[in-house]
């Protein structure tokens, strides 16, 4: 259960402002895209997300996208946002996270892995020794059957984590 427990839980990425970054001594963010930054399968960031990314960059944040998707699917998003992409990461395996940490060039305790899924983003980030931030998924209506099944398995674990945290 410990490997599935996020360090921090938030409703959406817009809660990660300069005060949040300072309070948690964050210098780098490993980003998931689908249902974390944008709705599932959205190709590019919207204006609100561009402004948030710009604020993160202005605050000195180093960013990298770590995704299980193919590069071709994420290329436009990464190019538009000006963020390096590590595609086909095979989350929750550590290899992609190790690459992300190397790219960011920061100590692990200054990096968070951000995502909406316990079994990929949180488990992978925890296995790699990073702090993890679980974001409430943006939109569950456009997810494939496999993801809906994973979400069903996550629900009792999330309830248990929530009970233990209160």
Given a cut of 90, whether residue 42 has pLDDT beyond it is no
> 146: exposed, middle or buried (C-beta count within 10 Å: 0-12, 13-18, 19+)?
exposed
| pLDDT at residue number 54 | 95
CATH assignment of the domain containing 155: 3.40.50.1000
Separation in Å, CA 37 to CA 55, 109, 157, 162: 14, 22, 23, 23
Given a cut of 60, whether residue 1 has pLDDT beyond it is no
The total of structural domains in the chain comes to 1
- Reading the block at residue 135, the tokens are 């974001």
Question: Which residues, 6 or more positions from 17, have their beta carbon under 8 angstroms from its beta carbon?
Answer: 55
**Structural domain containing residue 154:** 2-165
Given a cut of 90, whether residue 165 has pLDDT beyond it is no
| DSSP code at position 87 | -
Of 104, 27, 99, 110, which Cα lies nearest the Cα of 67?
99
Prediction pTM value: 0.90
> What is the pLDDT confidence band of residue 72, given thresholds at 50, 70 and 90?
confident
Given a cut of 70, whether residue 2 has pLDDT beyond it is no
């Amino acid at each position: 259960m410990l490997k599935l427990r996020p360090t921090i839980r938030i409703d959406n990425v817009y809660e990660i402002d300069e005060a949040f970054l300072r309070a948690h001594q964050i210098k780098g963010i490993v980003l998931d895209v689908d249902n974390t930054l944008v709705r599932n399968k959205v190709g590019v960031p919207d204006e609100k997300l561009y402004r948030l990314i710009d604020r993160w960059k202005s605050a000195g944040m180093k960013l990298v996208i770590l995704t299980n998707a193919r590069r071709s699917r994420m290329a436009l998003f990464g190019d538009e946002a000006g963020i390096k992409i590590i595609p086909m990461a095979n989350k929750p395996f550590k290899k992609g996270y190790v690459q992300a940490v190397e790219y960011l060039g920061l100590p692990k305790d200054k990096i968070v892995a951000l995502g909406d899924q316990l079994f990929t983003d949180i488990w992978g980030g925890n296995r790699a020794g990073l702090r993890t931030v679980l974001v409430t998924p943006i939109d569950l209506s456009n997810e494939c059957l496999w993801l809906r099944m994973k979400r069903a398995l996550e629900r009792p674990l999330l309830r248990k984590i929530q009970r233990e945290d209160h």
